[in-house]
Amino acid sequence: MNILGRIKKIPGGLLIVPMLAAAVINTLFPSVFQIGDPTTALFTSKGTMVLIGMILLVSGTQLNLSQLLVTLKRAGVLCISRILISSLFGWAFVYFFGISGVGGVSAVAFIAVLTSCNPGLYLALMNTYGDDVDRAAFGILNLIAVPVIPVMILNSASGVGIDYLSVLATLVPFMIGILLGNLDRNIQKMFAPGTLILLPFLGTSFGSNIDLRIAFQSSLSGLLVTVLFLLICMLPLIGIDRKILGRPGYAAAATCSVAGLSMVVPSMAAEFNPAYAPYVDTAIAQIAFAVILTSVIVPYIVKRLAGITATEASIRANQ
pLDDT tens digits, residue range 130-182?
888 888 888 778 767 766 778 778 777 444 455 567 667 777 888 899 899 99
Q: Which residue has the higher pLDDT, 160 or 250?
A: 250
pLDDT category of residue 272 using cuts at 50, 70 and 90: confident
Specify the DSSP class assigned to residue 102: B
pLDDT at 225 over 80: yes
pLDDT at 319 over 70: no
Is position 138 within any domain?
Answer: yes
**87-102 pLDDT tens trace:** 899 989 988 988 888 8
Handedness of CA 262, 267, 272, 276 (dihedral sign): positive
Q: CA-to-CA distance for 198 and 285, rounded, in angstroms? A: 27
**58-88 pLDDT tens trace:** 878 877 777 778 888 888 898 899 889 998 9
pLDDT score for 263? 76
pLDDT at 206 over 70: yes
pLDDT category of residue 276 using cuts at 50, 70 and 90: confident
Q: Which residue has the higher pLDDT, 264 or 319?
A: 264
pLDDT at 254 over 50: yes
pLDDT score for 162? 52
Is position 296 within any domain?
Answer: yes
- Tell me the CA distances in angstroms from 47 to 55, 169, 247, one per residue in order: 12, 16, 35
Is position 116 within any domain?
Answer: yes
pLDDT at 316 over 50: no
Q: What percent of the chain has pLDDT over 70?
A: 91
Q: What percent of the chain has pLDDT over 90?
A: 25
CA nearest to 195, candidates 129, 121, 249, 142: 121
Q: CA-to-CA distance for 175 and 202, rounded, in angstroms? A: 21
pLDDT score for 238? 95
Which residue range is the domain that position 289 belongs to? 47-307
CB 118 within 8 A of CB 145: yes
pLDDT category of residue 317 using cuts at 50, 70 and 90: very low
Q: CA-to-CA distance for 225 and 93, rounded, in angstroms? A: 12
Q: CA-to-CA distance for 209 and 170, rounded, in angstroms? A: 22
Is position 100 within any domain?
Answer: yes
Mean pLDDT to the nearest integer, 185-199: 88
Count the neighbouring beta carbons within 10 Å of the beta carbon of residue 17.
19
Is position 29 within any domain?
Answer: no
Q: CA-to-CA distance for 72 and 244, rounded, in angstroms? A: 14
pLDDT category of residue 275 using cuts at 50, 70 and 90: confident
**CATH assignment at residue 253:** 1.20.1530.20
Q: What is the total count of domains within the chain? A: 1
Phi-psi region of 104 (alpha: psi -120 to 50; beta: other; left: phi over 0): left
Q: Which residue has the higher pLDDT, 310 or 75?
A: 75
pLDDT score for 309? 54
- H helices, E strands: number in the chain: 19, 0
